[in-house]
Amino acid sequence: MDEWLFLWLGVMVVTIVIEIITVGLTSIWLTGGALAALIVCALGAPWGWQVAVFFAVTFVLIYFTRPWALKHMNKKKLRTNYEEVIGREVRVTRRVDNRQGTGEAIWNGMEWSARAVKEDEIFEPEEMARVARVEGVKLMLEKMEKEEPQKAEPEQEQT
């Protein structure tokens, strides 16, 4: 029984050290299983029960608590979501000319390199453009369709 007690204690120490080094919720679940097996061992259960408790508790911890823990640990993670710029209007700050290899635009307060989707299109500074797609760190711009001004309908006389 003593050797199994030291085995579970050793597993706990090793998995805690791995968790401290990685800080990624990689082995903490094994620590919980080893703790449960250590308790069962201290109560005098045979080694088969200890191993079964180790695997059962480890599985339960991974299956039920890992998704919750990962969700709450990743709250502070900065998500870039560059996809949300697609289809948005941006303001050109530096002439966009594919042949010259120039162009910059501002979106959401950040300056991006910009190029035209059509090779022969040029965008002048202060012009508004629509983002067709993102290639690497470049916004690929297209001309915005001009909306037709709505004509006012003539008022009808009421009788």
Phi and psi at 82, nearest 5°, equal -60, -20
The answer to whether the beta carbons of residues 8 and 38 sit under 8 Å apart is yes
The answer to whether the beta carbons of residues 64 and 36 sit under 8 Å apart is no
Separation of alpha carbons 63 and 70, rounded Å: 12
Separation of alpha carbons 110 and 103, rounded Å: 14
pLDDT given at position 74? 61
- Token reading at 132: 């067709």
Instruction: Read off the pLDDT of each residue in 65-92 and give the average, rounded to a whole number.
Output: 75
**Residue pLDDT, tens place only, 45-67:** 999 999 999 999 999 988 888 78
DSSP letter for 83, please.
Answer: G
Length of the chain as a residue count: 159
Is the pLDDT confidence value at 152 over 50?
no
DSSP-based three-state secondary structure for 98: coil
Is the pLDDT confidence value at 78 over 80?
no
- Token reading at 20: 């401290």
pLDDT given at position 148? 46
Q: What percent of the chain has pLDDT over 70?
A: 84
Place of tokens 């965008």: 123
pLDDT given at position 147? 54
